[in-house]
Structure 1
Amino acid sequence: MNISLESIAGASMSYEHGESHAEKVLSNGDVYVGDFDGLLPHGMGRYTWLNGTIYDGQWEKNKITGRGKILWPSGAAYEGEISGGFLHGSGSLFGFDGSIYKGSWMMNRQHGKGIKTYSNLDEYDGFWREGLQEGFGTYKWSNGNNYSGNWKAGKMSGKGVMKWSNGDLFDGDWLDGLENGSGYYKYADGSVYVGIWSRGLKDGHGTFFPTGSRTPYQLTYSKSIVCGNKVQSLGPASFFSNEGPVSKMLSKRSKVNRWSMIGCLRSTKRISHRPSSLDGIWNVNDACVSSSSENTSHTLCSTDESQLELLDDRILVYDREYMQGVLITERMRYCDFGRPQRAKWHCKMSKQPKRPGETIYGGHRSYYLMLNLQLGIRYTVGKITPVPMREVRSSDFGPRARIQMYFPSRGSQFTPPHNSVGFFWKDYCPMVFRNLREMFKIDAADYMMSVCGGDGLKELSSPGKSGSIFYLSQDERFLIKTLRKYELKILLKMLPNYYGHVGAYENTLITKFFGLHRLTIKGRKVRFVVMGNMFRTELRIHRRYDLKGSSHGRSTIKHNINENTTLKDLDLSYVFNLEKSWRESLFRQISLDCKFLESQSIIDYSMLLGLHFRAPEHLKAYSKSQNLLKHGANSADDNSDIQLRDEVKTPPKGLRLVAHEPSSVSSLPGSHIRGSTLRASAADNKEVDLLLPGTGRLRVQLGVNMPAEANWKPLHNNGLHSAEFNPVEVYDVVLYFGIIDILQEYNMTKKFEHCCKSLKCDPLSISAVAPKMYSKRFVEFLEKVFPD
């Protein structure tokens, strides 16, 4: 409620000097009865406005300040602290609608700790900021639902736990009031799904544990289960039953890490036709299910209590993949919590590995390194920004164009004190990278806030062989990568030509560099480059591919694959159909970028490709129909399964493109903001945006938010997915891609590598080939990936 109090300043009162208490009628009809200090109301007083509003409380020099009570004609009332005419401090507001707020105020708005009971009997107990829930709080709905966790701008955002009145529970990440990110969902019947959500819908990979299963999440908190090729986080044990064998396991934490499981069955992916599966709940329905592998068969049956029992201590789990809430594929397997080392395929209990995107905190091994990096960038960007903008000169390039500074922990005349060890800082080519940031429309203040703000960076593991460490800014706009000495030299060497190339071609797909730095701590030198994150999008990236065009060693080991794996050339099982004009623009730019890299004798670069799949519309309709069946019947109609099989190959209708409207799309600064908007023939050759229901409106650029049709077509016979049947052959996808890893020259080492590997395999299949051959092979492979 917006509270406003009219000031009596300027109103004419009739009184005699020296009166300490009087009743005064103002010229506008308002009435004041109370104490005066000379000519001004001061002390206790009652002020009645002409509209019927009444304030009764303390005054200070003609201002409503202190404790008091306000009554509005609507029936609303406030009792508590007031300052300068504003509700400020501690107080209670009783709304005209029956709502009650008790807590802290700041300038007429709820701010700080407070409890609000709404007119419908909902209750929020937690922190507020400028009238909205923000921080930690608990919201209790009158229907019995309960949420405890973080809030932002009045919506559930961050970590939180929702408990529904029907017994369901979700513990995980939230954004704008919806499940968004990793988490686990425990259903009222005891089944559990652990996976990824996007805007309230399951979206990505996860694991489902049927009712009665002894889930690994009952073992301990802050551990993980590594089973087959999946890594899953464990939820808090407190949310599960403490009865039976589970409580015994919890009491023996020292033995947990010695437990093992055995994966027994491997089966191909398939569409699940069970009606409850589409909602993540598996029902036994008092039936017995028999499954077999090459040498073993197992039978599982439901008990009278509808609980799942498994012979030989084995439990049935489902590895699933969802797209916008629709179950697309499912892999069934068995795990064994019994005797360790009982079979070749086994799973291990271990401490949870460092997950991608782990925020660096105090005590983390990279904490001081992060502090020094942020301090150095803040210093040099702040120093170079006030310099008037000018064209770069030849003297701005090279290893001698640098800013050097020593940062003692106690501070100096030029540097602030800090809580880390003293370090030496070197910033290479500051004027060049300042101009590059300007070229890519990145504001200096935004850049510093993103990289050097109060939030820590996120540490990522390296997806490649280089062993580099990646750091991600909290807003995910920038990647910081550690470099080897020779990579830094190559970047400095090619920087003049790189600057010219990206300046001439705004749609270049080559990695965008924003800064090059070196830290020296106790004699150890660490080199960094700051780059744009091409996967910074509100859409979930379901698949990542690193494509070079070579085939030797370009596949991923199956048991190393998880949600964040970057797959390779031989793993790719799709081709992507683009609008003709877009494909022409794409290969025109790829040709230009490859010619530039060839001129710099660069090899080993790759196309980093990210795919966001859109769930087929007929499967969405099927999911909705099965949800109705779930609530209205115990079993699905077999005819619906037959109908789905008939429709599963129905081609998608295509994603919707609309005329580009700059005011309707995101204008957040970042590495994608530069570059022209693509035109589409479907929109009369006008610039277009991609409209995704429930998601938003996205500007379509080359390599950014590009809609395409993905056709299931393995490019290699021995690929990861080519041996598996994919029931959905055509998808609508949104593509994100760019050329990365451009800091490897074809030098003597690479020539020697080429000679050695050529003795064992086809010389054209290896990555280390001459730049001209590498460029030609790279383009030819991408022409297969994006066919005409």
Structure 2
Amino acid sequence: MEDNGRFDEKSFSNGDVYMGMIKGILPHEKGKYTWSDGTVYEGDWEGEKMTGKGLVVWSTGAQYEGEICGGYLHGYGTLTTSAGCSYRGGWKMNAQHGIGLKKYSNSDMYEGLWKEGVLEGSGRYTWKNGNIYVGNWKNGTIHGRGIMKWVNGDTFDGFWSNGLMHGSGVYNFGDGGLYIGTWNKGLKDGKGVFYPAGSKKPSLRILHSPHDSDDNGFLLNIQKHEAPKARVKRSLSANIAVISRFKSFRQISHRTSSLKINLIRNDDSAQDCVCHDSSLSLSNDFDEDQSEASVRSTLVYEREYAQGVLIMERISECSESSRNKKQQNKFSVKKVNKSSCLDIFQGRRSYYLKLNLQLGIRYTVGKITPVPAREVRSSDFGDRARIRMYFPRAGSKLTPPHCSINFYWKDYCPMVFRNLREMFKLDAADYMMSICGDSGLRDLSSPGKSGSIFYLSKDDRFVIKTVNKSELKVLLRMLPKYYRHVGDHENTLITKFFGLHRITLRGGKKQVRFVVMGNVFCTELQIHRRYDLKGSSQGRYTDNDKINCNTTLKDLDLKYEFHMDKKLRESLLKQISLDCKFLESQHIIDYSLLLGLHFRAPENMKAFVEHHESMQNLPSGDEEEHLILPKGLVLVSHEPSIVNTEPGPHIRGNTLRAYSMGDSEVDLLLPGTARLRVQLGVNMPAQATRKIEEDKVAKEVELFEVYDVVLYMGIIDILQSYNLKKKVEHSYKSLQFDPLTVSVIEPKMYDERFLKFLEEKVFPETP
């Protein structure tokens, strides 16, 4: 006869007591176990383990009622502590896991997703003081897309990182004002638009895209396997739909970013809760019921912040008609020159071209990397120094099948570029992963008039640019001396080339040539302004209506001069001079200095601004002290052992020396960011001094005359030779303008003018 167990009471030598069903010598089915310290469990048993449903009451007064597995809190249950904190939801191995509601002893409350005891996923947190956050969490902190509403009526809808506003977002003030811009570690940083209270504002529409699968996407699937009565529902908010909670959570899969959750019911036995990524769409249309007669001007402030400090404000007035016109212009399609390489791949040209680039580069690097390292020879630069391969769609013995179109691939001077990559300490595997990885390439708009296609690798390390046939010939002609120049001057600012390739469609009539270069602006610091400086003045300005946060400005747009340490300036100008002499020897013109500015506002500058504003409110005569700008950026002695940030992905030169530090190698100390290694063109500290302009536009206000900045720079566009065509262009423009002001002049004069402009106008000597 089968033994179904018996009811018994058993005492143990350590003082523990069990009373309940016993099968053999082990607890069975139902029973109550009392530990010697006063902790009590009453519920289901399986063998010697607490498994099933039960109630645990600890000697401290805390208690848990719910599902248990193998002696662990596992499943669905409610925990109440003696301090007044309670949690009801999913558990996994004694840790909150899944969906749950927690009420803290200080009256805060969180309802949403947990992962192994910490807040992770989407949820709603309500503070005792009335502040509410609805959005995403990671590792216990606010992270991802979310909405914060403060008790004073302010709201922020945007992106967060480690509990701080970080990325793009929209900030609504309680008084009706609205700011659209970007934040960096909790501080406004970059350009944005402010609409004051009472002004007409853009309408905000939340667009639901269930097919989005980018980094900001979110998909939450919850499947239920028990009866409807096991469900416990609580509303997250009126804006966020319902998250359902169950006694048993068997399958929970989610990704890391959400804003809206919509409940989709199927039947009583199963349901899915799907959260689609919500992308913010800004529309400049006014209310539909507004008549044309009521259209009025809207006061808008275009602002720019640096680390929380307002450094620029421009007032602009826009009517609805002008807004609609700008919106149309924004989405207008420009006709492409039929002779441009943009026409090659037709409607899906960008997708096919990027795929072909990745296929070809992966093949080339994989083929050349196993070859033993050696010095380059003259034959490595010749016409026969090529790798050619045909990539049929179906694949071949040497090439994989692909979903692009059939194409021929040519790689120029592979051994030379392999050695150049090694000079700049680029690992072959990292190079391939950066360009050919699953993350792909990003399209960039062309900053010039060349019509070239620009791509940027996902990690921002490399720029890929299409070149025409004449530029290809210039690069191949100058490559031997370029290789020697780079080898002799490890701090060179000249564009760093890593590969030169060509794609030909089957038939041989359509060809695209492109070059892989280092990105001058590959840095964790935000580049607030970009300048392309040639030293010429004719036509070197940008129309105001074409300027946005990504615009590369020109010579006449530069409103600053940069003062830096005496030794840093000396090293910079010396290297620029050496680079220009090399370009002059190769008859190259039309090159420029690409200059990037990161405005750095120290913490004490914010205090200075607040002090300045408070002193302005005092009666005349009460302000006794002079207003003095805070000290500049901090340079410290270079200590390689503690430098935790690499200077850049393509830098191989020595750390620079500073006169102010006794001619010793220095690092740049940036509180809250890192300790950065100062090198030629990278992490160079300076003070940007505002140039005095008599015809300064009244609507544009600079709050300070001096700013601390970190500079990034490189000499770019070095593939234009002073050929017959350029000589004719110079002669023609010289009849209309001053010959010394036009961009196209002979190489020696171009070199002299370029250096003079940088020495006197951009980096003048500090008095």
TM-score (norm 2): 0.73
Partner of 2:102: 117
The alignment of Structure 1 onto Structure 2 pairs a total of residues equal to: 670
Superposition map of 1:356-395 within 5 A: 366-395=350-379
Amino acid in structure 2 at the alignment position of 1:515: G
Q: What SS class does the counterpart of residue 430 from structure 2 fall into?
A: helix
Partner of 1:699: 677
The answer to whether the 8 Å contact 2:426/2:650 transfers is no
Amino acid in structure 2 at the alignment position of 1:316: L
Q: Deviations over 1:198-236 (max 9, x none)?
A: 2221223222111122212358979xxxxxxxxxxx995
1:576 and 2:555 aligned:
no
1:752 and 2:728 aligned:
yes
Q: CA deviation at 1:432?
A: 2.7
Q: CA deviation at 1:466?
A: 1.3
Superposition map of 1:78-89 within 5 A: none
1:658 and 2:633 aligned:
no
Partner of 1:783: 759
Amino acid in structure 1 at the alignment position of 2:387: I
Partner of 2:239: none
Partner of 2:268: none
Superposition map of 1:538-553 within 5 A: 538-553=524-539
Amino acid in structure 1 at the alignment position of 2:680: L
The answer to whether the 8 Å contact 1:667/1:673 transfers is no
Partner of 1:482: 466
Identity of aligned residues (%): 57
Q: What SS class does the counterpart of residue 595 from structure 2 fall into?
A: strand
Amino acid in structure 2 at the alignment position of 1:771: P
Superposition map of 1:98-497 within 5 A: 98=85, 100=87, 102-103=89-90, 114-115=99-100, 117=102, 119=104, 121-123=108-110, 125-126=112-113, 128=115, 138-151=124-137, 154-217=140-203, 236=280, 246=287, 248=289, 313-337=296-320, 340=321, 348-350=326-328, 353=331, 366-398=350-382, 400-497=384-481
Q: CA deviation at 1:499?
A: 2.2
1:514 and 2:498 aligned:
yes
Q: CA deviation at 1:626?
A: 8.4
Compared CA separation, residues 93 and 500, structure 1 to 2 (3 A): farther
Which stretch of the first structure deviates more once superposed, 741-750 or 202-211?
202-211
Amino acid in structure 1 at the alignment position of 2:617: D
Compared CA separation, residues 34 and 550, structure 1 to 2 (3 A): farther
Q: What SS class does the counterpart of residue 593 from structure 1 fall into?
A: helix
- CA–CA separation in structure 1 for the residues paired with 2:652 and 2:623: 43
- CA–CA separation in structure 2 for the residues paired with 1:494 and 1:24: 93
- CA–CA separation in structure 1 for the residues paired with 2:620 and 2:311: 14
Q: CA deviation at 1:20?
A: 11
Superposition map of 1:625-774 within 5 A: 638-639=617-618, 650-668=628-646, 670-713=648-691, 726=702, 728-774=704-750
- CA–CA separation in structure 2 for the residues paired with 1:427 and 1:51: 77
Compared CA separation, residues 42 and 673, structure 1 to 2 (3 A): farther
Q: CA deviation at 1:173?
A: 3.4
Q: Deviations over 1:541-586 (max 9, x none)?
A: 2221111111222122222222222111122222111111111111
RMSD: 4.9
Partner of 2:599: 613
Q: Deviations over 1:627-662 (max 9, x none)?
A: 9x8xxxxxx9633899899966x4542211122233
Amino acid in structure 1 at the alignment position of 2:297: R
- CA–CA separation in structure 2 for the residues paired with 1:136 and 1:456: 28
- CA–CA separation in structure 2 for the residues paired with 1:770 and 1:655: 40
Q: What SS class does the counterpart of residue 200 from structure 2 fall into?
A: coil
The answer to whether the 8 Å contact 1:218/1:246 transfers is no
- CA–CA separation in structure 1 for the residues paired with 2:134 and 2:150: 12
Compared CA separation, residues 216 and 393, structure 1 to 2 (3 A): same
Structure 1, unmatched stretches of 5+, are 1-17, 223-233, 250-254, 262-310, 356-362, 630-635
Which stretch of the first structure deviates more once superposed, 703-712 or 119-128?
119-128
Q: CA deviation at 1:701?
A: 1.4
Compared CA separation, residues 705 and 36, structure 1 to 2 (3 A): farther
Amino acid in structure 2 at the alignment position of 1:246: D
Compared CA separation, residues 766 and 710, structure 1 to 2 (3 A): same
Q: CA deviation at 1:48?
A: 11
Q: CA deviation at 1:79?
A: 6.6
- CA–CA separation in structure 2 for the residues paired with 1:384 and 1:508: 26
Structure 2, unmatched stretches of 5+, are 209-277, 334-346
TM-score (norm 1): 0.72
The answer to whether the 8 Å contact 1:652/1:731 transfers is no
Q: CA deviation at 1:604?
A: 0.9
The answer to whether the 8 Å contact 2:314/2:700 transfers is no
- CA–CA separation in structure 2 for the residues paired with 1:759 and 1:117: 79
Q: CA deviation at 1:708?
A: 0.9
- CA–CA separation in structure 1 for the residues paired with 2:351 and 2:720: 29
The answer to whether the 8 Å contact 2:647/2:678 transfers is no
Q: What SS class does the counterpart of residue 592 from structure 1 fall into?
A: helix
Partner of 1:585: 571
The answer to whether the 8 Å contact 1:398/1:493 transfers is no
